[in-house]
Amino acid sequence: MVQDDLKNFTTPVFPFTAIVGQEEMKLALQLNVIDPKIGGVMIMGDRGTGKSTTIRAIADLLPKIEVVTDDPFNSHPTNLELMSNEVKSIIQKNPADIKTEWIKIPMVDLPLGATEDRVCGTIDIEKALTEGIKAFEPGLLAKANRGILYVDEVNLLDDHLVDILLDSAASGWNTVEREGISIRHPARFVLVGSGNPEEGELRPQLLDRFGMHAEIRTVKDPILRVKVVEERTSFDQSPMIWIENYESQQQELRDRIVEAQQLLPTVEIDYELRIKISEVCSRLDVDGLRGDIVTNRAARAHAAYHNRDKVTIEDISKIITLCLRHRLRKDPLESIDSGDKVNKIFKEVFELED
């Protein structure tokens, strides 16, 4: 009985709908959940501004997912892209052997001192040679499949590890090779990085790989600060009452996100708007086409979030700064544009008045 209680015990998480302010960060996270192919979020801001709290809150808010029981990769029972090779072969031989269960969306924290083996997983060469089987020990990328991978202080992480994370997030797969043995497994997750700009920025090449960049600042208004402090204190004293009070709002947002995910494939964006998005990117001298692609994706996700099947200029105006501001920095010593430059060019191209 005690064991069951321990198994069912979870640490209370501050409700997402109760978070005051930080709209930019909340919007970026919601859009990435609606369409993980946007490419993740980089959240830069002062210490103690609720970055970790908000990221844990969005993971807790999301609906449960169906996975194959006892599968280390959270394999989807029907979608081949989200399924490990072992599950695929079982389905081909005898689909009746597949048992499933519903779990909370995985939220994986990547510690700063993590090694490449811990992140990607390891192959037991000795076992492979003596027993003739691929003995693979899954890493954090396997755990994060179909969930959220959170890297706090991502700007302090080794560049080659950031590269591995971004490659997996972009391709949806992780490949581990040791001594001629190769293992490949699905690793489709929303990559969320956070950091404090005082401790240094990511190199422009790595920063460009993040889909969106949200900036957060410490709240200056004393009344709002007091409200935040009071709410946090009240939650710490009686978390379960708080969670119950916000349950209807949480469920409403949960339903809205699920509906947006279902609507997303049907959302269209007019050719004229796509031309103008690319003109903004061109005039801002954004390298490559990643900025164009992400802006199109985010605009469609924003339209789906507002239950529309056609992108409007309003949708683009809400997300274009988040998608482009971190792509303007060519010199690692430059600071990231606050968004004014993007906004100015956006208004000129779309012929909007200030």
Strand 107-109 and strand 121-123: pairing? unpaired
Residue with tokens 């269209």: 268
Residue with tokens 């969106």: 212
Residue with tokens 């964006």: 269
290 as an active site residue: the answer is yes
DSSP 8-state secondary structure symbol assigned to residue 329: -
Catalytic one among 209, 290, 300, 325? 290
Distance CA 32, CA 39 (A): 7
Cβ proximity of 313 and 275 under 8 Å: no
| 20-51 residues labelled b (16+ CB within 10 A) or e (exposed) | ebbebbbbbbbbbbbbbbbbbbbbbbeeebbb
Distance CA 189, CA 146 (A): 5
Neighbours of 150 (CB within 10 A): 23
Residue with tokens 């609720």: 50
User: Which positions are catalytic?
Assistant: 290
